[in-house]
Structure 1
Amino acid sequence: MEISSEDRDTLECLEQELWRQETRLDKQRMNELLAPDFFEFGRSGRVWQRQDTLVAEPSSIDVVCPLPKFDIRLLDERTAQVTYDSAFIYDGVVEHTHRSSIWSRTTSGWVLRFHQGTPFQP
């Protein structure tokens, strides 16, 4: 099962929206993107529930885009796993993280169900 180029472009844009300042700080947009059962295993080891994510104080993040090693595989017709590496500067230090997201297609578009970040040293 292959992903269409349209879905690939959409999911890449959505994943980058999660990093961009103008979207990351937009509570309404984040509310639209996060599925009701969303949760995340953060790179710190913290578990974030949907509500934790929506009420967290947003911080400025300087991330490398396009997202390195971006890839998508369909798990079924309505579910996609997105993987990539992120490199961002936090307190003057570049932090590298392997990322994995699970997106589900709904009648109103793709929503993020799960995300995990695992730190690594290149």
Structure 2
Amino acid sequence: MTASATPSTRPAARTVPADVQAASELLAALASPLRMSIVTLLDEHGSRCVHQLVEALGVPQPLVSQHLRVLRGAGLVTGVRRHREVDYRLVDGHVAHIVRDALAHASHATEPTDTESTA
């Protein structure tokens, strides 16, 4: 028998550098508390227009629009014109899943572990 790996024991395929770059750009686009909040609201409600996001987030409209521009530029949200307003929605559920996982991880990181709570 040779030393080469059989199909069942081959190491997993390496990540392509282009995939790593794309993933890095995705995370960079989400690397803002306000953008994560926008993604969370769009996930919860399906779609929201700018004034609804402004009301829910309690921040000025130009700031919300600036962050929506970043999310649109990254291909994470899309806008559909409805009369005078634009309804924004997530392009797909994967983005919301990433944000939910990050929030869950952050909440676990702030909870004391069993060893910390008994010390």
Using the size of structure 1 for normalisation, the TM-score is 0.27
Using the size of structure 2 for normalisation, the TM-score is 0.27
Greater strand fraction, Structure 1 or Structure 2: 1
Larger radius of gyration: 2
